[in-house]
Amino acid sequence: MKVSEYLKQKRDEGPLHLSLIDPQKTDAGEAERIGRELMDLGTDAFLVGGSLGVDQREAEEVVKKLKSSGAPVIIFPGDVNNVVRGADAILFMSLLNSDSVYHIIGAQVQGAILVKKYHLEPLPTGYIIIGYGGAAGYVGRARPIPLDQPYIAVAYAMAAEMLGMKYIYLEAGSGSPQSVPPEIVRAVKKNLEEAFLIVGGGIRTPDAAKLIVEAGADMIVTGNILEKDLGAAKDIIRAIKRK
């Protein structure tokens, strides 16, 4: 089954949890262990990627180990060096609020040939950085949307969907002190037709995760917390699946 079909089916059942593994921080052995545990905890898919220092060979190993868990593995590229063999799909994304043409369309032009060559299913994604932004915001030369300006985020998300993007990713930045405010999630969701709404960055507690899915997120992404505390990840997954 295509990953896009799988995500659609899952969305009909309720909000999804995506586990982000950064190959620069987590080696293949650890990815295999964490991957198995996360599957038992009910995660729906794995994202693999990072903003800095991703080694292609290591990333390929991480992908391979996560694949053995049985859940779809989706590349979440910080740059072209994240496009590796063996994954099922890729968030083929444009960092819409970047000031750099490279992050809006340059890297995608570089990566498209590899995506085809490696038989990765492209999931067309508008990536929008909100507030803190973290490494993704810094490296991607983003002009992050202020937390008190939901309508700027809405306008970006609408433009992305009108351009044909099927996934809208609101990113607060990995390790952000504050996750994307539910008011922004709600305003964006209200103005989308069919696109999936993905929200990530700084989600560390079940309450924060619950507020974000109640505001309309179809999928939430957690990264940091998985490396620090799988117990917390379990509570987050439970909280959103109970909705």
Q: Which residues bind ligand 1GP (CB under 6 A)?
A: 20, 136, 171, 174-176, 200-203, 221-225
When the beta carbons of 72 and 78 are compared against ligand 1GP, the nearer one is 78
* CB-based contacts of 9, cutoff 8 Å, min separation 6: none
Strand intervals (E) in the chain: 16-21, 45-48, 73-75, 89-95, 121-129, 167-171, 196-200, 219-222
User: How many residues belong to the chain?
Assistant: 243
> CB–CB of 121/2 below 8 Å?
yes
Residues contacting 207, CB < 8 A, separation 6+: 239
Closest approach, Cβ 47 to ligand 1GP, in A, equals 8
In the bound state with ligand 1GP, the residue whose beta carbon lies nearer, of 131 and 202, is 202
At closest approach, how far in Å is the CB of 207 from ligand 1GP? 15
The least distance separating ligand 1GP from the CB of residue 204, rounded to whole angstroms, comes to 7
Q: Please check whether residue 88 is in contact with residue 120, taking contact to mean a CB–CB distance below 8 angstroms.
A: yes
- For ligand 1GP, which is the closer residue by CB, 52 or 116? 52
Taking the CB of residue 206, how many other CB atoms lie within 10 A of it?
Answer: 18
Nearer Cβ to ligand 1GP, position 108 or 224? 224
- Rounded distance, CA 107 to CA 111, Å? 6
Nearer to ligand 1GP, 116 or 165 (CB): 165
CB of 75 to ligand 1GP, least distance (A): 13
The minimum distance between CB 117 and ligand 1GP, in angstroms, equals 25
Joined tokens for residue 224: 């940091």
